[in-house]
Every structure is written in structure tokens, then in C-alpha cells.
Structure 1
Amino acid sequence: MSEVRLPPVSGRVQSLHERMTLDEKLAQLVGYWVDQGDELVAPMAGEMATSTRYEDATAHGIGHLTRVYGTRPVDPVERAAWLWAEQRRLRQETRLGIPAIVHEECLTGLAAWKAATFPTPLAWGASFDPALVEEMGRLIGESMRALGIHQGLAPVLDVIRDPRWGRVDECIAEDPYVVGTIGTAYVRGLQDAGIHATLKHFVGYSASQGGRNHAPVHAGARELADVLLPPFEMAVRDGGVRSVMNSYAEIDGVPAAASQELLTDILRGQWGFDGVVVSDYFSVAFLHTMHAVAEDLGEAGALALMAGIDVELPTGDAFTAPLAAAVREGRVDEGLVDRAVLRVLNEKEELGLLDESFDQPPTEIDLDTPAHREVARRLAAESIVLLSNDGLLPLDLRGGARIAVIGPNADAPEALMGCYSFVNHVLAHHPEVPLGLELPSVADAIRAELPDATIEVAAGCQVTGDDDSGIPAAVAAARAADVAIVVVGDRAGLFGRGTVGEGNDVEDLELPGLQRRLVQEVVETGVPTVMVVLSGRPYSIGWAIAGPTAPAAVLQTFFPGEEGGAAISEILTGRTAPSGRLPVSLPRSAGAQPYTYLHPILGGASEITSADSTPVLPFGHGLTYTSFEHTRLTAPAETSTAADFAVTVEVLNSGDRAGVDVVQLYARDPYASVTRPVAQLVGYARVALEAGERTVVRFQVPSARLAFADRRGVRIVEPGDVELWVGASCEDRETSATMRFIGPVHEVTAADGRTVSVAVAAPIQA
């Protein structure tokens, strides 16, 4: 066996490690799920449930405690008292006295009872606002730290490749730069609060065959290098993330959990990551049970450990007795165990666990403060995308207006929440337990926003199913109203308990159930109609954007969280102006998938195929209540392949209302040594302007933003022409320029910049 290189650690950690037995080492490499039951809150959790008693599992200490707050609805203060006592027990009653890391899900806020629930990550992408996402991450981290939690299993940096995949609502965008910048902002916010973020799912999970969960991935090396890996690299190099979680995927026959190339060579060797790699739940055992690359759990543990996984979560199926036997029999080098243990002990030292006394648990705590709700509302509002509008919005309603609020999601608070919200992830198993937080539905929020209006609510139909008995009453309510607001979309859940979410993949992209029929029958009344989509994926709703069955206006919202109802109502009335942009193309059909705006020429429509993959609306699309003009794009005529360059553009609010523009800078390499996308987002900026105001936006662009993997797999910047443009979406070339890279081919290194810096001049009246 080749010698295992051990990581550098402090003298304290080294001394602790030298005293450890093999059993004590392995105990630090596993978690224990104290509350694990038969609820489906993780894939195959029931089948993989450990039979080891907690007292036996922690006899030698324990690495992690799994989802202490997030598995069942427990009172946070009572649970904190238990946790503090348990950490004291680990300190006082195990030989080495090492406390446990406590990890929780935190994708849409801390997944715990009574904790604030923010918009889902797809909404983060629609906001194009990394600064606000960072602020949200910091608030989430502060709540977690107050409860004795140390590690959060977020963010998800999978780039969307197919909207049929159920986990799209956990993802940020179909563009790797948007995913990378916003995901890195979340990492900074969470880690500023003292919580270690965990990148998920490294790597390729979202590129699954047919958009099916846990399906094989057939991504080539160039797709990995240019699309799937860059967000993770940004979060490692620029965000300093401290933990990474492997993907369940197998790429070209090699499971990520057993890939030394991914987990060691790229992650640590190329990028310099020096944190801890944790397994996705049960994924080490899956090497034996699902991938069948290991004959037993001992071999599965060995493969994962050799690849670079340090901790097996949520429990110790392979890294306990099976791996211990393999080490004692000489089939696995104990140096691999030592390498992982040193990394875990180093993390515990970083987190301050080795010095914690655990003598004062919190006696009261507010996990949903006004600060949480204010950020939740701002992010929800910024993420709402106005897809179409014939002038009906904002609504001009007088005091006695009659409003019909219709649809299965109109008066359903849980419809505002994503799959990994506590409401849909856990409370769905406990219908007897109250929500634990204020969660006004869209109908509730409209009542509050328009107290003088007469509002009638009618569901019309359910999210799923074929019961049409409620449609006539809903149509009658619309016919009697001045305006109809039809709220449709998804219900998030897990493994078949919903229309979107983990394990809820689909074969078509029509609105579920009878919802399209409901909308169309309301539109046919002739009453002005607004369609509000509350969903976790983009649906094929071309019929609602144009044509005889199209509502007067369509709002797309991606699970906007606890303040989502209020944000929607304020957009409807005009108290807040829409500023969200599509972070994923609005699909033409399921048959046009997989689709990405980052396609080469052959990936788009052409005269040599009768199938059209052109989306209904493109990446970056989003209307406002005003209008913006982009002019005078400037770029240098020539620049070095190894240098930064500046691009400027003038932005004018040419309408009669204040608004926020998302300025989008795109590029295209028209001729290269390998095929390149017809459009690529280079940088973006949110710009607020009053009516008639003008400003100049300056993008400072590292040349590496236009790098790609060459035929050797090396990321390079080539000499040659580059087309640049700014517009309202990837398809809109409102103002453009051409620039030429000169000099030799530049091979990208760690020293090259990855992020575009943006400066916005002080606005002036035009």
C-alpha cells in the first residue's frame, strides 16, 4: 500500500489522535440518528435504519449527532437542554471526552419546528441578489449556533439540467456562474455566524438520465469542467467552505462516493480544500446495495474512505464494525482512517468544540424574529418573476372591489414552502402538530393588503387528481368578481408525497391535475385574470403566456417561504414592483428536455429537425412595472488572454415608475477549438433607478470568465473574437460590442479571478 499523507494539525489534535484506539477513531467518523424512525425524510431511511443502541454507539464517543432538531417536531428549548446534557455526558463519560458535531438541514432556513422558513434556492436564483442571500445565511447561522448546531447541510450547488428532476427547487439556476456567486454568498453568511456550510451534491447529481432521481449520469469531462464543477470551485476557493457532501450519482459508471479523482484529486489536489467530506445519507452503504461496486459493507467503507469521504452520515453502517474488521484483517490501511480522523478532530477544534463546557443551554429563543421575517419578505419579493402582463398589473382597485381568489394553492400555507422546509419535510408526518410559525396564505395576505375589498375564495380543484366538482363554483366566483387571481402550481414533498421535491420526478411538464383547465375556464369568463404559479420547477405554460387562453398577467414564484403570501399581494397591488428574473428557461415541453440556454449551435432550433427545443421564455426574462433601456456598451478592442477587462453599459429607467433592473452581460465565442455556447452569462447587477434616472454600470471581468476546457481537458482562454451584449434576457441583444483576445493561449490557474466585480455610478436624471 502506498503511504497515506496525513493532514497538518495542531499539537493538541495530534496528541489526542495518538491516544486513540481503532474503535475510538472509527466512532469519530460516523453519525448517530437519535430520533430516526420510519418517516421518509431521507432516501431508504427505513431500510437502512440502524439497530445499534445509542448507548452502545457512543461508548467510544461519536463524530456527529444527526438532525437532533430536524427529525421530529420538538420544542427547541427543551431539546437544547437535552443536547447540552448529552454533550456534557460525552465530555465526562467517554474516555477521550470529545463532544459531537451536530448537523441539520438548513436549505430554506433551519429545518426545525418554529424556525423561520425562507424562499427556496430557486427563488434565490430568481432574485439575482447574492448580498441578500448572504444576509439570510447569516441569520440562519445565528439561529443554528444558538441551538448548539455546528454544521449545516447546504447550499445545493447542482446546476439545473432538466426541470423534470424533482430536486430542481433545491437548486439555484441553470447557469453555473449564478449558482456559484449566490451559493458562495450563502456559504459566507452561514460561516460568518460560526456554522460550517456543506456543499451539495459533489458532483453531477442534477445531470441524471431522464431527470430521474439517483439515475446514472452521462456527463462528459467538458460538461463537468465547464458547467458542473465551477460553482463548487468558487465556494471552495472564494467562500472558504469547510465541508463538502458527495453526490449519489454515478458518472460514466463510477459512483461519486468512490471517486478519488473527484473527492481527492480535484477537490483537494487542484482546489486546495482542507475541510471535511461527509457522505450523503446512506451513500457509503449504497456502494454495496445500489451501485454494486462493493461486495459488502466493509468493502464499501474502504472504497469511500480511499476516495476521500471522511464521515459516514447519517449513521455508521459501513465505517463501524465492517470497516474495523477490514482494517484489523489488513485489507484497509489504518492510515486512511487516521487521515479522516485528523480532519474531523481539526474541524471540531475549529468549531471550538474541544473547549466547550456545555453548562448553559438557552432558556428561551426566538427562531423567527422580525429580522428573519423582514429578510424573508425582501427575498420573496425580489424573487417573483412577472412573466407576462397586458397592463392589468399592478391592480387598480377601488375600495369596494370584488376579488375572486381561486385555485388549490390560494389558501394553502404549505404551498409557499419548499421540499426541505420543516413544514413539508417533517410536519407532513405530524398533522396533529401546529405549524409553529405565522404562515399566511396568498388569500390571507390579499385580505390584509386590501381590507376594503370583498374577497371570495374557491379552490376549484386539488393540486393533483381528476375531481372537477369544484370548478363550476370557482368559475361562478370569478364571473361575479372584478378580477380573478388564480393560484396554481405544486405541493412540495418527499418520495411521492407531493408533485415536486426529492424523489418526485415527472414525465411531463404540464401543471399537475386539472389546474390548466381551471385557469382556462376562469379566463373564458372574460373577467380580468392573473395567474400566480407557486412551484418548485418551471412548467410548460406557453398556453398561459400567449394565445386565446392566456390570462392577462402571469406571476411565477418559486416557493417564496413564510412571507411569500405578503410579497405576492404587494406585487399584485403595486406596493412593490417585480424585479425577479428567470433563473431557468421556461420549457416548451417535457419532450424538449434536457435543455439549457448554454447550448451550442446544434443544441438549438434548426431547419434540419422538426423538433423545437426553444423555450417559451428564455433564461433571464422578467418584466417590471416600468421600462429600462440599455445603450452604449463599451469594451476594449483588444485585451490579453491573461488579463482582466472592463465593460460598461448605460442603463435608463425610461418608464414612469421606480424600478429595479437586473443588468445582464452576455458573451459568445463565435469560433473556438471546441464548440461553445451561443450565449453565456458573464456578469449581472441589480440596479435601482427612479423614473427618468440614468446610470453607468461597470463590469470588471477576469479573462477566466470566458475559459473552457480544451481537448486535453485543460481550462484555457484562447485568442480570438468575443461578442458581448446586454439585454433583458440571454436572447435579447439590446446593445453589443466585439472584443478580441490577443496573445498566447492562457491556461487558467488558481491565481486567475473567478468573479466579476461590479460598480454602479450614482444615478442622474436623464
Structure 2
Amino acid sequence: MSSPRDQEPAFDIDDVIARMTLEEKLAQLVGLWLQLDDSSHAGGDIAPMQHEMLSNVPDFDTFTRHGLGQLTRPLGSQRSTPEQMMTAVDRVQESVTAHSRFDIPALVHEEILTGLQLFGAATYPTPLAWGSTWDTELITRMGEQIGSSMKAMGIHLGLAPVLDVVRDPRWGRVEECIAEDPYLVGVIGSAYVVGVQSQGVGATLKHFLGYSNSQAGRNLAPVHAGPREILEVFSVPFEMAVKLARPHAVMHSYAEIDGVPVAADKTLLTGLLRDRWGFDGTVVADYFGVAFLHTLHDVASSIGDAAALALIAGVDVELPTGNAYLEPLADQVRQGLVPIDVVDTAVRRVLRQKQDLSVRRVARESTKTVDLDPPSARAVAQQIAEKSVVLLANSTGLLPLNDLQRIALIGPNADSAEALMGNYSFTNHVEAPPGASLGIDVPTIFEALAAEVGDHHIRYAIGCELGEPVAPEAGDDPLIAEAVDVARASDVCVVVVGDRAGLFGRGTVGEGSDAELLELPGRQQELVDALIATGTPVILVLVTGRPYPVGRWEEQAAAIVQSFFPGEEGGSAIAGVISGRVNPSGRLPVSIPKRPGGQPYNYRHPRLGGPTPISNIDPSPAFAFGHGLTYTTFHHANLEVAADGNSDTASTITVTCSVYNKGDRQGSDVVQLYVHDVAASVTRPLRQLIGWARVDLPAGASAAVRFTVHTDRLGLVNRDLNWVVEPGEFEFTIASSATAEGLSRRLTLRGSRAFSVRTDTSPPPPPSPRKIGDPHALRRKLLSRISAAGTVSGGP
């Protein structure tokens, strides 16, 4: 990293705005997608309609003649060393400041969803794997590692986390999401933001709002959701992150909700986000989202009208180019259609953000080597991967493979490094030419398992291709036939199937790679069926970006293991679970379907959203939200539920229980606390997660778990669209999953309806510079403000 010799002092924002021309102001509200090398984006677009939208962007000098707000992903497609990347950005920044009368550089943003998306940077597990860990401390540590790499590279803002709540597993971007429960999404997402921003850089919440509820799971399709559902489900993670973690930016979604595109919805972007929640950062456009108001949504008659709609609604920065916010928006201002005060407000937010993130011209004394995949990052990646592997079934007790046997290792994902990484990894996003270096060491499951048990115990066959190539008729595929022969000659068969992440149909999952039918892609289901038919015990390992139905194999497979794109150390983590080196502790953040039909399904359903005698379709999952087995046995007991002295709708509730490890090895339990409002003014979920605690216990040990729950966590959005806590009877359940029987106690709250704290409409405090302090202190502050985070005492 180049060390700064001196930095420009902070400028007076009001003075600068007063002296800026209209063109200079608008230049601060746009980004420029600049290719810094001669490489091309192999395989097609990496943003919706990229080539069409970039076809008329002017050259660099013309575009930046009045300055520049942001550099859009200047490093994210380069196969260069960190030093070459930094030199290239420095050169561009010199040109940007040369065009600015006020010597203001551009803010640099990059993607950071599975790590800093640069060539050679650590690639962490995908967000579904974060959710599978149920471990906020660990996700914060990952954020710290990512933020540190950003800081070293001079990158100011990262585009993550995704806080969309999983609704339909057919949607390609499910692999970018954390969970199907809004509270779990909010807690894990907030922890990630705290970690990233503890390093003095910024995080961006996306995609605000409702994006994941798209019609039939198709990317950018209309969203059908009522205002109660928007407030009570899709808004919750964003509200939590805004209030708990103070993100620097929020990205609007491409969604149109009930016919109104979010990018043009002032009620959401200003009324809810800023006026009610107090968000004081910048709202940035999802790529080309402003222009899409004209070209895709048809709510604007021209690009200029689209720019006016977006800016007035509350979109401060147009990304990735200024197709709308430069000349078209300038014309709108000159015609009096957009007040200059609206422009000034956005510019003020942008300049304040640049000050907060130290976006200043720096003189570099020297250049030193930057390691973007240091041992500390790999250690965190390994811990997340290991804690995220979910043991779904182990009915025969075959796992772990304690005795060395003849192992058939089969499947298209068994010996693929790319299959371990998500859509927003550098490897799968940019799509390097075949045979090109990945830039990082990514052991495959085959390589990792061979290291665990010795390669002389393993015989490998691919079994089938992952996609859908032209193949012989069923039963005649030579690859499947070869795999069957290998399985028959072995004591146990490990078959690794699933997804390959890719963009816009170039993968089986990922942005724009939606599923028409919720089945394993290609001939993988046929492969699994054929292997089970051999009679050799089959361990089914799913390495996927979405939950796939496994009901057909639930009773036939000896064991089933689920891993959601576990990253650069994922092969080692899965091999460790198979060998027994790792005791699995992951818990499902999404429901695993039993059959392809009955979708979409969500565990937070009211009574008529589940199986009923008045429909012939049973949507019950094969494995429920929160489910996960270990190689030991946990037992819960001694549940107690009590409210403070008032026992009214403003009370604090205490829930305690005991956890026992009754097995013969150390393990980790995830104690889950659910609630059900027995009778309310609107229908309620039969179970709703309100807290959890990870408990690590040696064999034979026990611990006490205590949850302190403010009644705000029992709130609902009523028919008047207000958050309220209603009096009545509530059932609290400690369970190992959303459908497990568990332990239950009921508690009655008295009194009149009490408005939840989330309805506070007092004006937000004035913006203040964010102070960067001890990341561990920030972590403790975050955890202390999550009202139902379980605390553990006792144990060894």
C-alpha cells in the first residue's frame, strides 16, 4: 500500500456548493465505469443490459471535464497485481482532480459481497453460508478483513451486504441473500456492516426494497406485496442495519412494487428511509436503474424525466454512468422542473460522504506489496466455511467416515474450484478464460478429501456435466455408466452435485440465472438416482446457491450434506465434515423443499400458509429453517418465561433454558427462540424467530441460556400500517428448528396497545462524522442493541 505523505484538509462543503456551477454539481452525482486495462469482460454483460447502456458514454476527458463523483469498479475486472491496480487508479485520480476546480477526487467503489472482488483477493463463502453459521462475531471478523483490504487498496465504498429476504428459491439471486427470516438477515447483515466500516471504509445496503419478491422468481419482474408485508418483512433488515450499524450508503432496487418503481418512490427513499429511520448517507442507483425508469418501467417519457423522478424521490448518485444525471438532468433544472435545492441536497450528502471516508488527494511516497489473501483472511474464510456446512440427514450413522474405506467420489462439483464460489466472486463474475489462473488457492473437494484420507482411498468420476449439454437418452449416458461402475466397486459413494454460479443465464444460479423448474440442473438427479440404485451407501453432498428439493432422497441416501457456495476454503470444510475432523454446526437459513412444487414457501407463514386439510398440496419442507445435525446430541430443558413486574405491552421478557451435550464429543448447538401471537388483529406466523444463541459445549457439559426480549420484538404492523404491540397471549418456544416440537410456555401481556419503538417519528439527529474506533467495541455495541441475542453462562 502506498503510504500518504500528506492529505488535503477537509473542505468547507457549503462554501464549495455555493461556488459550484450546475455542471460541477451534477458531476458529483455520477459515476463512471472505466476500464483501466485492455481486457474485456468475457462471456457477456456483468450488469443488466450493460453493452446497450454503455454504448453512448463519452470519452473520459469529456465525461470528467467538470469533476467526477465516483469511479465505478475500476479494479473489479483487471487480472493485475495490487500494485498495478493502485498505480492505475492513482493515474485516473490525478486526471479527475485536474478537471475539478476544487481538487476533489472521485470516490472509488467495488463489489464486496463474497470478499473484495479483485483478482487475487480472498473469496469468502456466499451470504447464504453466513446465514448458515448463525454467528455474528464471525461475520463481523470477515467484514473487518474485507474492510482492511479495501483500505489498503484505496477503495472507499463497497457494494454489500444484500439484505433481501429470501422468498422464492427459483430467483437466481437467492445465493446473494442471507436467509428467509428478516430478523436473521438484519442481525447478520448489521454485523457485516459493523466489521467493514470499522476499518474506515463504507458499506452499501442493497437492494432497497422488496426486490427478492419478484413475480415467479424472475429477475427484475414486478413485485406483488402489500404495504404491511413491505413494512413487516422486507423493511426490517434495512431498518435494523440503518439504526444499528449506520451504513454509508443504500442502493435502491430495480423492483416495481404495486406498479411504482422504487427508484421513483419518494415515500420509500425519503419518507421511510430518511424521515422515519434517520438514514443520513447517500442513496445510490443500482446500475442503470435511473435510466430504466424510462427504458424498462415506462414511467418516464425521456431519460431527463427519469432523472427528475429519481433525484426528487431521493436517489443521490447515478451509477454506473451519468447517462441521466448529466446533460438530461441539467436540462430539467434549467427548465425549472427540478429545483436547484434538490440538487444541492444530494451534492451536500455526496461531499459529506467524501469527507467521512477521507476521499482526498494523497501523495504517495512509495509502493509496498499488498497481500489480498493473507493467512488471517483464509483463517476467517475457513471458520465460516466449516461453521456453515449443514448436516441435513445421517439416518444410518455413516458419517463421519471414521474407518478408511474405498470411496467413490463422483459428481460435477467434486473436482471444481469454481463450484465453491458465488456469483460475485472474481472467478465467476468476470469469467476468466479457460485455463487461466484463479489468482488464489482454492482446493477442490477432491483435493481436500484426498489430503484428509489419502488419495489411494479415492476413485473419482465426474458422472455428468453440470449444465444441460446434448446427451444420449436417459440410461445411456456413458458418464453416468462410468460413475455407476465406480460406485459398485466402492464401499461408500460421495456424490457432489449442485450449481455453478454465473450471470444472466451463463450459470445455473446467480444474477439473471433464474430457475424455471426447481430441480438440480442437467442430468444430476438422474445421476444421484443411478448411484443410489447400486446399493452402495450414498452420501449426497449439495454445493448450491439455492435450496433444492431433496425429498426423493431423504430416506434413500445414507447421509445428506448441504453447503451454500463455501468459498476458497470450502473444499477443506466439506472434506473435514465427511472425515469427522469437523463436527458440523451449521443450521439452515432457508427451508429445504421436499418437492419442486408448493413454492414459494416460507417458514413464517400463518396457519393457512402451511399444510391444511382443505388443499391437496402439502408445501412442508423436507428440512425446516433452523435445522442442522451434529455428531453429538444436545438436549434442552428447564424453559422459563417471565415478564417484568408490569407484565404489560411495554414489558421486558426473560426467557431461560438449559442446554446439555449428551454425546461423546465436543459440539456446537444453536438454541433458537420462537414466538407465536396466539390471537391478533391480523394473521400471524405460527412461529417467528426472535432470538438465538450459539452454544459450544464439551461432551457431558451443560450451560444456561438467557434471552432478554423487549416486547418490541413481538410487534406487528396493524391495519393502520403502524407498528404496535398488542395485549394478549404469546407462546414462546425453544426449538432446534422452525418445525421441531421443542419446549413451549405461554405468557399473557395486559394493557392497551403500545406503539412499538419503531414508530418513533421524532426528527432524526443532525448528521455527524462517523468516528472509527475499536472494532471489538463496535461489535459489542451492536450485539448489546440486538434485544433478543442469547447470552450463555455455565458450561465447562
Match of 1:602 in 2: 608
Where 2:478 maps in the other structure, the secondary structure is coil
| 1:141-180 matches, cutoff 5 A | 141-180=147-186
Q: Work out whether 1:761 is the aligned partner of 2:796.
A: no
| Cα distance per residue 1:308-366 (max 9 Å; x no partner) | 00000011110011001111122211111111000000000111124x42424643111
Pick one of 379, 387, 395 that aligns with 1:382: 387
Cα displacement string for residues 205-255 of structure 1 (whole angstroms, at most 9, x for unaligned residues): 001111111010111011111110010000000111110000100000000
TM (norm. structure 2) is 0.92
What does residue 225 of structure 1 align with? 231
Q: 3-state SS of the aligned residue for 2:694?
A: strand
CA distance in 2, matches of 1:245, 1:393: 44
Conserved? CA contact 1:600–1:678, under 8 Å: yes
What SS does structure 2 have at the residue aligned with 1:501?
Answer: coil
Match of 1:423 in 2: 427
- The 1:357/1:11 distance shift into structure 2, 3 A limit, reads closer
Paired residues of 2:693 and 2:789 also in contact (CA < 8 A):
no
Equivalent residue number for residue 76 of structure 1: 82
8 A contact 1:604–1:614 mirrored in 2 = yes
Alignment of 1:41 onto 2:53: no
Q: Is the 8 A contact 1:157 1:199 kept in 2?
A: yes
**2:188 paired with 1:182:** yes
For 2:94, the aligned partner's letter is R
Q: Does 1:111 align with 2:135?
A: no
Give the distance between the partners of 1:433 and 1:558, measured in 2 at CA: 25
Match of 2:274 in 1: 268
Match of 1:672 among 669, 675, 680: 680
| CA offsets 1:24-83 (integer angstroms, 9 cap, x no match) | 000000000111966411111011014310111111110000111112323321010121
**What displacement does 1:11 show?**
7.4
Q: Which residue of 1 aligns with 2:26?
A: 26
Per-residue deviation, 1:438: 0.2
Contact 2:723 2:758 in 1 (8 A): no
- Separation in 1, partners of 2:313, 2:204: 18
Q: Distance in 2 between matches of 1:128 and 1:172?
A: 10
1:358-507 alignment runs, 5 A limit:
358-360=363-365, 362-389=367-394, 390-398=396-404, 401-426=405-430, 428-431=431-434, 433-451=436-454, 453-465=456-468, 467=471, 468-507=477-516
**Which of 44, 63, 67 is the matching residue for 2:73?**
67
2:45 corresponds to 1:13: no
AA aligned to 1:726 is I
What stretches of structure 1 of length at least 5 have no aligned partner? 1-9
CA shift for structure 1 position 423: 0.4
Equivalent residue in structure 2 for 1:255, among 219, 239, 261: 261
Q: 1:320 aligned to 315, 326, 341, which one?
A: 326
Report the count of equivalent residues. Answer: 748
Rounded Cα–Cα distance in structure 2 between residues aligned with 1:46 and 1:92:
29
Relative to structure 2, which stretch is displaced further, 220-229 or 743-752?
743-752
Query: Cα distance, 1:651 vs. partner?
Result: 0.5
Alpha-carbon distance between aligned partners in 2 of 1:233 and 1:361, rounded to the nearest angstrom: 42
- Tell me the equivalent position of 1:96: 102
Give the secondary structure class of the aligned counterpart of 1:732: coil
Partners of 1:110 and 1:455 in 2: CA distance:
35
- Any idea what the Cα deviations from partners look like across 1:689-709, whole Å, max 9, x if unmatched? 111111110001111111110
CA distance in 1, matches of 2:607, 2:536: 43
Whichever residue aligns with residue 464 of structure 2, its letter is: C
Q: CA deviation at 1:722?
A: 0.3
Q: Which amino acid aligns with 1:406?
A: I
Maintained 8 Å contact 1:702/1:754 = no
SS at match of 1:488: strand
Is the 1:164–1:509 Cα contact (8 Å) retained in structure 2?
Answer: yes
Structure-1 residue corresponding to 2:727: 719
Deviation per residue, 1:721-759 (Å, 9 max, x gap): 100111111111321111111222111125996531321
CA contact (8 A) 1:312 1:319 kept: yes
Query: In structure 1, what residue type is equivalent to 2:51?
Result: G
Q: Which amino acid aligns with 1:322?
A: P
The structural deviation recorded for 1:657 is 1.4
Q: How far is 1:645 from its partner?
A: 1.3
The percent of aligned pairs where both chains have the same amino acid is 52
- Partners in 2 of 1:751 and 1:260 — Cα distance? 19
Which of 357, 362, 372 matches 1:357? Answer: 362
The AA in structure 2 aligned to 1:439 is V
Q: Distance in 2 between matches of 1:214 and 1:233?
A: 23
Query: C-alpha distance in 1, partners of 2:787/2:33?
Result: 39
1:537 is the counterpart of 2:540: no
Q: Is the 8 A contact 1:704 1:754 kept in 2?
A: no
- The 5 A counterparts of 1:510-549 are 510-546=519-555
Instruction: Give the Cα separation in 1 of the matches to 2:497 and 2:641.
Output: 44
User: Is 1:656–2:664 an aligned residue pair?
Assistant: yes
Does the 8 Å CA contact 1:404/1:477 hold for their aligned counterparts?
A: yes
1: CA distance, partners of 2:301 / 2:354: 33
User: Is the 8 Å Cα contact of residues 187 and 786 (structure 2) preserved in structure 1?
Assistant: no
Give the partner amino acid of 2:420.
Answer: L
SS at match of 1:592: coil
Corresponding position: 1:244 with 2:253: no
2:561 alignment partner in structure 1: 555
- The answer to whether the 8 Å contact 1:88/1:358 transfers is no
Secondary structure in structure 2 of the residue aligned to 1:757: coil
Match of 1:624, as an amino acid? T
Q: 1:745 to 1:587 in 2, by over 3 A?
A: same
Structure 2 residue 715 is the aligned partner of structure 1 residue 683: no
Once the two structures are superposed, residues 283-324 of structure 1 have per-residue CA deviations (whole angstroms, 9 ceiling, x without a partner) of: 000000000000000000000000000000011110011001
Q: Secondary structure of the equivalent of 1:88?
A: helix
Q: Deviations over 1:169-223 (max 9, x none)?
A: 0000000010000000000001001121000000000011111110101110111
1:731 corresponds to which of 736, 739, 749: 739
Shift of 1:93: 4.5
Residues 57 and 323 in structure 2, CA contact (< 8 A), matched pair in contact too: no
Contact 1:121 1:171 in 2 (8 A): yes
Give the 4+ runs in structure 1 shifted more than 6 A: none
Letter in 1 for 2:319: L
- The Cα RMSD (Å) is 1.5
Task: Name the CA distance, whole Å, in 2 between partners of 1:524 and 1:175.
Answer: 37
How many Å separate the matches in 2 of 1:742 and 1:718?
Answer: 9
Q: Which residue type is aligned with residue 310 of structure 1? A: D
**Residues 763, 712 of structure 1: CA spacing in aligned structure 2 closer, same or farther, 3 A cutoff?**
same
For residue 493 of structure 1, report the CA deviation from its aligned partner.
0.2
SS at match of 2:362: coil
Give the distance between the partners of 2:435 and 2:491, measured in 1 at CA. Answer: 38
Which stretch has the larger CA shift, 149-158 or 643-652? 643-652
Determine if contact 2:654/2:709 at 8 Å carries over to the other structure: yes
Q: Distance in 2 between matches of 1:300 and 1:463?
A: 41
- TM normalised by structure 1 equals 0.96
Distance 2:579 2:457 in 1: 15
Matched, 1:582 2:585: no
